[in-house]
Amino acid sequence: MPSETRYPRDWSWPENAKIAMSVNLALEAFRYKCQYVQEAKPNRPDQFSLSFAEYGAKSGVWRILDFLDEFGLKGSMSINGKAAELYPEAVRAVADNGHEVVGHGWENDVLAPDDDPAAEREEIQRVTKAIADAAGVRPVGWTSPGSAGSDNTLGILVEEGYIWNGDRGNDDLPYIVESGSGPIVCLPRVNAFINDLTTWIWPKNSPVALWESFKDTFDELYREGEKGSPKWIEIVLHAHFAGRPTAIPAFRKCIEYAMQHEGVWYARKGDIARWTTEREGK
């Protein structure tokens, strides 16, 4: 068995950490329905599904903030502009506790248009203002709803003062791309399999699946880091899903397990983006 990795990129984290770990949070609002429905109601709002999403601001976000306080961790919260407008006290609490606020579209079930850059820019500006007004600090990172940005998204984000985007899923590590309007850091979606939505809710698994997926992924990436090829792991907690008492114990096991290991860099996504710019920027 080879003692070194064939991964083609030379990489390092601060203080030569073996692995980086981030916590991705989400506070979302919807027009028609959230990701969880009981009965499909096409072409009209689903009141149960919308009320299910409201749990995130009423209860979930507060439980998640308490949970992260247990470990002294700071996360990055993707926030829809509509959620910032509806729940400013929750958004302010997120920011005041040192968590990063992240732009996430206006409504989470309405995607950016591919053929109307003016409308997309207007929405990005509207979201930025709503979050900044609520949080007292403006976002510098952006992940589109469903990671479904347009061909114009990166350039508009650079022009609007953003430094990172999370709409791609094509690497284990961050990288810099030229947007046409300047460079921006891409933070790929390394969290697809440690995500309350994709690992617990949609497949109707036990929350134990979140812990099992995290441990297996962490162990593999930590091993790679010990061999000199450090990577990055992230867990995802939506306020209206992971903010419920059912999932918190599984995520607690994840963090407790990570903290049994030396050489872990716990970072917000903006911290990872700034490190990438410092390390890779020209």
pLDDT at 1: 42
Cβ atoms within 10 Å, residue 110: 15
Contact (CB, 8 A) for 61 and 36: no
Token pair recorded at residue 149: 């940005």
| pLDDT on residue 42 | 77
pLDDT at 282: 54
Q: What is the pLDDT of residue 176?
A: 97
In sequence order, the 6+-apart residues with CB closer than 8 A to the CB of 102 are 76, 77, 78, 79, 139, 141, 142, 143, 166, 269
**CA-CA distance, 97 to 62, in Å (whole number)?**
11
Going by C-beta distance under 8 Å and a sequence separation of 6 or more, which residues neighbour residue 36? 49, 52, 201, 240, 241
Q: Hey, what domains does the chain have and what are their CATH numbers?
A: 14-280 (3.20.20.370)
Residue identified by tokens 């591919």 is 114
- Contact between 34 and 238 under an 8 Å Cβ cutoff? The reply is no
Name, in order, each residue with C-beta under 8 angstroms of 45's C-beta and a sequence gap of 6 or more. 31, 32, 33
Residue 81, H or E segment? helix 81-86
DSSP string computed for 10-47: ----GGG-SEEEEEEEEE---SS--S--SS--TTS--H
Sign for the pseudo-dihedral over CA of 62, 81, 198, 257: negative
**At a CB cut-off of 8 Å and minimum separation 6, what does 38 contact?**
48, 49
Cα atoms in the 13 Å half-sphere on the side-chain side of 197: 17
- Contact call for residues 46 and 33 (beta carbons, < 8 A): yes
pLDDT in tens for each of the 282 residues of the chain? 455 788 999 999 999 999 999 999 999 999 999 999 988 777 788 999 999 999 999 999 999 999 999 999 999 999 999 999 999 999 999 999 999 999 999 999 999 888 899 999 999 999 999 999 999 999 999 999 999 999 999 999 999 999 999 999 999 999 999 999 999 999 999 998 999 999 999 999 999 999 999 999 999 999 999 999 999 999 999 999 999 999 999 999 999 999 999 999 999 999 999 999 999 875
pLDDT of residue 112: 84
According to the model, what pLDDT value does residue 3 have? 59
What totals of helices (H) and strands (E) does the chain contain, helices first? 9, 9
